[in-house]
A and B are shown apart, each in its own frame.
Chain A
Amino acid sequence: MSEGLAHVVSPLNGARFDGLISVREMAPQGMITLRGDLAAPAIKNAATGVGGHDMPGQRQASGDADRAILWMSPDELLLLLPYAEVPGAVASIGKLLEGSHALVADVSDARTGFELRGEGLREVLAKLAPADLSPGALPVGEVRRTRLGQVPAAFWLKSEASAQVICFRSVARYVFDQFRRAAQPGSTVGFF
């Protein structure tokens, strides 16, 4: 990619807030939507080749900070990779899947990511999301597609004290403002 890359901005310019937990908008991250038959070897190869990790099981995330594969639905994966690598990866997946029915789309700029850190993160999320976020129902490494307040979002825990959240770019401010409220000092619930 050309000189444009230097000008890429995230919607909140890396905003952060420290309260019950710390909330930080992440730098632009590469994200590729891959839809297809997840059992097909070509799809698996394409996903693991770019994602750099094994295929995740149902609802799972497999990967590390730089690179991961997220199971999104029975026919959809989300691949996470460094932002700059996306155009190359889209092209190479396209080549790999030539002739098979699949959809590959760069969605890096359509979303923004937040990193949550702190022991109380399950509670902060549970103030906004209707899903069951207890450790039994949402183990570390499982992706939950749900909503935060009034907008769709997905998140998964990397550890009990660290989680990543993905939401649409246009509502980044709304999601961040909600986190600021939900993580306000003095609002610990003590449920999980």
Chain B
Amino acid sequence: MSTRLAPNTPGVGRLIDRSKQQNFTFNGKRLTGHAGDTLASALLANDQVLVGRSFKYHRPRGVVASGAEEPNALVGLGTGNRFEPNQRATTTELYDGLTARSQNHWPSLDFDIGAVNSAFANFLPAGFYYKTFMAPRPFWKHVYEPFIRRSAGLGKAPDPDARDPDSYEHFHAHVDVLVIGGGIAGLEAARRAGEAGARVLLVEQSAHWGGRAPVDGGEVEGHSTEAHVSQLLAALEAMENVTLRARCMGAGVYDHGYVLAYERLTDHAPALKGPRHRLWRIRAGQVITATGAIERPLSFSGNDVPGVMLASAVRDYVVNWAVSPGDRTVIVTNNDDAYRTALVLRRAGLAVPAIIDARVLPADSPLMAEVRAAGIRILQGHAVDHVMGGKRVRGVAICSHAGEGGAVIEEIPCEAVAMSGGWSPVVHLWSHCGGKLTWDETRAMFRPDPDRAPTGDKGQPFVVAAGAANGALTLGEVLEDAVAAAERATARPRTSDAPQAVAQEEAPLAPVWMMPQGASIHHRAKAWLDYQNDVKVSDVQLAAREGFTSVEHAKRYTTLGMATDQGKLSNINGLAILSGALGNGIPEVGTTTFRPPYTPISMGAIAGAAVGDTFQPIRRTPIHDWLEENGAEWEPVGQWRRPYTIKRPGETTEEAVQREVTNTRENLGLLDASTLGKLIVKGPDAGRFLDMMYTNMMSNLKPGRCRYGLMCNENGFLMDDGVVARIDEDTFLCHTTSGGADHIHQHMEDWLQCEWWDWQVYVANVTEQYGQIAVVGPNARKVLEAIGGIDVGKEALPFMGWVEGELGGIPVRIYRISFSGELSFEIAVKAGLARHLWDLLLTVGKQFGVMPYGTEALHIMRAEKGFIMIGDETDGTVIPQDLGLNWAISKKKEDFLGKRAQQRLDMARADRWKLVGLETVDGSVLPDGAYALGEGENANGQRNVIGRVTSSYHSPTLGHGIAMGLVLGGPDRMGEVISFAKGDGTTTIEAKITDPVFYDKAGEKQDV
């Protein structure tokens, strides 16, 4: 059984505080651990060897690793609103009150019905979904998918009604050198960069500094590695230009030195105040990836039985957390490093019955000699034939590595197996932004190719790998490499030698991708590559036989490396198997693509502050609060909120809209038009500039007058419209659509800065300087006269004119323009006074039947008048000529934006769909967007169409449905009745083609 080692055991438990007990539960069972434990170490200390079930076969699974690479020990953490699936027990720090549940089991972890899948493993080979569930087709939806969904899948999605109560934030940091990884290499590189004067940020994913060095031992400058790490830390902490962050993982490296780091602030202590996670958005001049290396498993039969662990992890559990994986541990290896595990176990008083080494060395290496001297049996040239046991290891059967297995020489009883297949540098962050790898034949590893580093804006390399992440595996190599990395990152030569290290020399490893070497199919079908996605050696070989020769295709076909651990343990082993099956070299097969994030990061951290009331900016007009308090039903217009209608108690939305239209037509309406874009265009060339911007002539507009204008892009399509007022000889004020102000401002600046840079024109966006209130209806003039201060009579302020003055003591500019067909004044007022004026208009307007109205009433009234709306009648493919707006397209002007484009064949052809009014025969309302039906079908068997509805409303003024639409040959077909299809695609509705102006065709009402 796995258990906690006694307190007096020498050299164990460096990270735990035995004086602090912490209680937690696993599947409801109450367990205890110590401060400093990870969930994984605490589970092992409680002999909870079985921690989950696998994805496909529901095989029992135990802890394999001790860090971020862990594929098996995934749990659901927390409850209710704080429940999170797929949390790695090895990187979850234990805290008092932690609640964890194992995943992917039913009905219980110990007894799982899905495990029966394992018995049918022969029928679930690679690509079995593709092969099995293709036919009969309807079976997929009703039989296969529900079954697979129930039995497969990792973790459980949180309750859809759960709401994360924690907060998250972003932080932007700019540094000269970012060091990712706080192991001995990262610390050394950071210290050197710091001493060179660089602004340095050093991030470490775990809560502890020093990485593997304190566990793996050795000496630096006469001190233990642990003491050396403390010294480095102290030196770094004393530097003002260095920032250290533990529990902060380098997640992704992107273009131009942009790096994301994921800091977990309160996961280890949920009672702490403040944000739970912080996403660091870093701009770094140089990035040093000192991300270490990951030990590879060996592929032998039964290598997934709980109790089979990485040799380095076994070492970690003993030294760091005083956890024994079992009284007897058999070590299986192809390299010297695993011998350290034997020494650690022996020092802790645990038995190592044998070391199974696939190699046959001519002479003992120093580590081997030390182990042999300790009396541990070494079996060279041997392999594990299979692991005995189901839910936990009972022993291993040994065979010769040279054979195909089955000829068991000996069975060795044990509780744990420590395996080591060599080390793979963590090249993920190096690779994210295009760093290339090279295959190191001697060490059997892909390591960063320094000549093909990720490059920055000037083509300069901006990532440097250091230490084990760069393929340096011995203590001395690691330190030397770290110093070299700091030299490259700071572009300054070292000022002192790399620290001198003493560590044992290691004999070279022998690449072992399968064990025994010629393992039979029976063995291969039980040799796991990807623990999380249940991919075995036999699956990858089958994929190769079936023609999946590209590593990227084989990955997707077998799902190797596609689980939440992204193949940290399986990647290299899998591609080595593929290369063997294809008869190609490993470097020719290559790796799959490393993509960020390094390990999963929370959605909350990605969102940062963009949640709740700060999810996105909501732009509020100065009248917003009044509207909100008085029943506004909001609709988004760009980022603005505008009132669709202002509802009274007991009213339906439709009733409110009809009321607003009727009252405006009969009495007095008020509209908050503050969202209209307002751009000042000023300069000696302003007129000339606007002649280019608008399709019609603006330069001959007289000061004091207004003109409606259309704006097209250079492709001729109608982009924006609005009223332009000439303020003085040099100054125009251009109104844009509500959503269009920023875009049109940019559009103008683009042309001014890039094309007509020598024209004397300045543009300023003053949209928000003014609140704008439309006073509309037969009583509009009366209310302004009652407030007093400005002559708004027909002569003083004619239609399409403007005046400035003080209205009731409030400085305003009044434009006499109308978008409703009624007598109408749009009053621009400083935003800080807009609410004051609004209140005044409401008070004084009472006697005249004043009533605010919303955007839907505005839409109906403009439609009754046949006025187009950008975004309704236009969709980016419509030119002004389609809308019968030829009167607003100058024929005199030599040029304007869109002129040339509008002369192209397609734009000028006679059979474009053109704007008409539509009146249903039965008075009902046409569905918005409905298509007009033509004769016959097109080449795709679809009904031909001859037009579509662009705007459609019930007109309270006329008492029936009105619509506008684009119809083939429309203006020449007045009076004709055509059919439109309803949403169901079959029922039709008849409508008569009419003039688009339904109301007051002569325009008498607005000109009084």
- Residues on A facing B (Cβ under 8 Å): 1-4, 7-11, 28, 33, 35-36, 75, 87, 101-103, 105-111, 123, 126-134, 137, 149-151, 168-174, 177-178, 181-182, 184-191
Q: Mark B601-624, 1 if CB is under 8 A from A, else 0.
A: 000000001100110111111100
For A151, list chain B residues within 8 Å (CB). Answer: 617
Inter-subunit contact B768/A109 (CB<8 Å): yes
Inter-subunit contact A127/B831 (CB<8 Å): no
Inter-subunit contact B283/A105 (CB<8 Å): no
For B443, list chain A residues within 8 Å (CB). Answer: none
Inter-subunit contact A103/B620 (CB<8 Å): no
Cross-chain pairs A/B with CB under 8 angstroms, 6 sampled: A103-B682, A107-B764, A174-B613, A174-B617, A177-B614, A178-B609
Inter-subunit contact B619/A110 (CB<8 Å): no
Interface residues on B, range: 35 or more
B275 contacts chain A at the CB level, 8 A cutoff:
yes
Q: How far is the CA of A111 from the CA of B770 in the complex (A)?
A: 11
Distance between B282 CB and nearest chain A CB, rounded to angstroms: 10
**Provided the pairs A127-B609, A177-B614 are in contact, do residues A11 and B620 lie with their beta carbons within 8 angstroms?**
yes
- Residues on B facing A (Cβ under 8 Å): 167, 169-174, 199, 243, 272-275, 278, 281, 283, 609-610, 613-614, 616-622, 640, 680, 682-684, 760, 762-764, 766-770, 806, 809-811, 830-833, 835-836
For A173, list chain B residues within 8 Å (CB). Answer: 618, 620
Inter-subunit contact A182/B619 (CB<8 Å): no
Q: How far is the CA of A126 from the CA of B621 in the complex (A)?
A: 28
Distance between A66 CB and nearest chain B CB, rounded to angstroms: 19
Distance between B736 CB and nearest chain A CB, rounded to angstroms: 15
Q: How far is the CA of A24 from the CA of B764 in the complex (A)?
A: 28
Inter-subunit contact B617/A127 (CB<8 Å): no
Which of B619, B764, B835 contacts A171, CB < 8 Å?
A: B619
Q: How far is the CA of A190 from the CA of B169 in the complex (A)?
A: 14
Inter-subunit contact B170/A101 (CB<8 Å): no
Inter-subunit contact B833/A184 (CB<8 Å): no
For B766, list chain A residues within 8 Å (CB). Answer: 105, 107, 110
For B281, list chain A residues within 8 Å (CB). Answer: 130
Q: Which residue of B lies closest to A103 (CB)?
A: B762
Q: How far is the CA of A134 from the CA of B201 in the complex (A)?
A: 13
Q: How far is the CA of A181 from the CA of B604 in the complex (A)?
A: 14
Which of B169, B621, B764, B809 contacts A3, CB < 8 Å?
A: B809
Inter-subunit contact A107/B610 (CB<8 Å): no
Inter-subunit contact B680/A103 (CB<8 Å): yes
Which of A28, A170, A182, A185 contacts B609, CB < 8 Å?
A: A182
Inter-subunit contact A2/B806 (CB<8 Å): yes
Distance between A170 CB and nearest chain B CB, rounded to angstroms: 4
Inter-subunit contact B172/A127 (CB<8 Å): yes
For A108, list chain B residues within 8 Å (CB). Answer: 769, 830, 832
Inter-subunit contact A110/B172 (CB<8 Å): no
For B811, list chain A residues within 8 Å (CB). Answer: 1-2, 4, 87
**Provided the pairs A3-B809, A101-B683 are in contact, do residues A110 and B768 lie with their beta carbons within 8 angstroms?**
yes
For B682, list chain A residues within 8 Å (CB). Answer: 103
Inter-subunit contact B764/A189 (CB<8 Å): no
For A127, list chain B residues within 8 Å (CB). Answer: 169-172, 609
Inter-subunit contact B680/A105 (CB<8 Å): yes
Inter-subunit contact A168/B764 (CB<8 Å): no
Inter-subunit contact B614/A7 (CB<8 Å): no
Distance between B734 CB and nearest chain A CB, rounded to angstroms: 13
Distance between B269 CB and nearest chain A CB, rounded to angstroms: 11
For B172, list chain A residues within 8 Å (CB). Answer: 126-127, 129-133
For B243, list chain A residues within 8 Å (CB). Answer: 190-191
Inter-subunit contact B609/A181 (CB<8 Å): yes
Q: Which residue of B lies closest to A189 (CB)?
A: B171
For B199, list chain A residues within 8 Å (CB). Answer: 134
Q: Which residue of A lies closest to B625 (CB)?
A: A11
For A182, list chain B residues within 8 Å (CB). Answer: 169, 609
For A130, list chain B residues within 8 Å (CB). Answer: 172, 281
**Provided the pairs A28-B832, A127-B609, A169-B768 are in contact, do residues A174 and B274 lie with their beta carbons within 8 angstroms?**
no
Instruction: Report the 8 A-B pairs with minimum CB-CB distance, sorted nearest first.
Output: A186-B274, A186-B273, A170-B619, A103-B762, A132-B174, A109-B831, A110-B769, A8-B832
For A189, list chain B residues within 8 Å (CB). Answer: 171, 278
Q: How far is the CA of A128 from the CA of B684 in the complex (A)?
A: 40
Distance between B496 CB and nearest chain A CB, rounded to angstroms: 27
Distance between B529 CB and nearest chain A CB, rounded to angstroms: 41
Distance between A146 CB and nearest chain B CB, rounded to angstroms: 10
Distance between A88 CB and nearest chain B CB, rounded to angstroms: 13
Q: Which residue of A lies closest to B199 (CB)?
A: A134
Distance between A157 CB and nearest chain B CB, rounded to angstroms: 16
Distance between A187 CB and nearest chain B CB, rounded to angstroms: 4
Inter-subunit contact A184/B274 (CB<8 Å): yes
Distance between B386 CB and nearest chain A CB, rounded to angstroms: 53
**Provided the pairs A130-B172, A191-B171 are in contact, do residues A7 and B831 lie with their beta carbons within 8 angstroms?**
no
For B614, list chain A residues within 8 Å (CB). Answer: 149, 174, 177-178, 181
Inter-subunit contact A184/B275 (CB<8 Å): yes
Q: How far is the CA of A148 from the CA of B177 in the complex (A)?
A: 25
**Provided the pairs A4-B811, A126-B171 are in contact, do residues A9 and B835 lie with their beta carbons within 8 angstroms?**
yes
Distance between B247 CB and nearest chain A CB, rounded to angstroms: 13
Q: How far is the CA of A11 from the CA of B619 in the complex (A)?
A: 11
Inter-subunit contact A35/B764 (CB<8 Å): yes
For A128, list chain B residues within 8 Å (CB). Answer: 170, 609
Inter-subunit contact A134/B174 (CB<8 Å): yes
Q: How far is the CA of A3 from the CA of B272 in the complex (A)?
A: 53
**Provided the pairs A174-B618, A178-B609 are in contact, do residues A187 and B767 lie with their beta carbons within 8 angstroms?**
no
Which of B617, B640, B763, B836 contacts A4, CB < 8 Å?
A: B836
Inter-subunit contact B830/A101 (CB<8 Å): no
For A111, list chain B residues within 8 Å (CB). Answer: 768
Which of B274, B283, B767 contacts A110, CB < 8 Å?
A: B767
Distance between A131 CB and nearest chain B CB, rounded to angstroms: 7
Q: How far is the CA of A133 from the CA of B175 in the complex (A)?
A: 11
Distance between A167 CB and nearest chain B CB, rounded to angstroms: 10
For A110, list chain B residues within 8 Å (CB). Answer: 766-769, 831
With A4-B806, A184-B167 already in contact, 13 other A-B pairs whose C-beta atoms are closer than 8 Å: A3-B809, A4-B811, A4-B836, A7-B810, A9-B832, A75-B762, A107-B769, A110-B766, A110-B831, A150-B610, A184-B275, A186-B272, A188-B274
Distance between A182 CB and nearest chain B CB, rounded to angstroms: 7
* Max chain A C-beta neighbours (<10 A), residue from B173, B622, B768, B810: B768
Q: How far is the CA of A138 from the CA of B830 in the complex (A)?
A: 33
Inter-subunit contact B764/A7 (CB<8 Å): no
Inter-subunit contact A149/B609 (CB<8 Å): yes
Q: How far is the CA of A33 from the CA of B811 in the complex (A)?
A: 20
Distance between A119 CB and nearest chain B CB, rounded to angstroms: 16
Which of B173, B613, B770, B830 contacts A126, CB < 8 Å?
A: B173
Q: How far is the CA of A2 from the CA of B273 in the complex (A)?
A: 50
Which of B169, B174, B831, B832 contacts A187, CB < 8 Å?
A: B169
For A131, list chain B residues within 8 Å (CB). Answer: 172
For B274, list chain A residues within 8 Å (CB). Answer: 184-188
Q: How far is the CA of A62 from the CA of B832 in the complex (A)?
A: 26
For B610, list chain A residues within 8 Å (CB). Answer: 149-150
For A102, list chain B residues within 8 Å (CB). Answer: 762
Q: How far is the CA of A127 from the CA of B243 in the complex (A)?
A: 17
Inter-subunit contact B830/A187 (CB<8 Å): no
For B618, list chain A residues within 8 Å (CB). Answer: 171, 173-174
Inter-subunit contact B620/A191 (CB<8 Å): no
For B621, list chain A residues within 8 Å (CB). Answer: 170
* Max chain B C-beta neighbours (<10 A), residue from A109, A130, A177, A188: A109
Q: Which residue of A lies closest to B169 (CB)?
A: A127
Q: How far is the CA of A134 from the CA of B199 in the complex (A)?
A: 10
Distance between B631 CB and nearest chain A CB, rounded to angstroms: 20
Q: Which residue of A lies closest to B168 (CB)?
A: A181
For A188, list chain B residues within 8 Å (CB). Answer: 274
Q: How far is the CA of A182 from the CA of B276 in the complex (A)?
A: 13
Q: Which residue of A lies closest to B243 (CB)?
A: A191
For A149, list chain B residues within 8 Å (CB). Answer: 609-610, 614, 617
Q: How far is the CA of A38 from the CA of B276 in the complex (A)?
A: 48
Inter-subunit contact B768/A150 (CB<8 Å): no
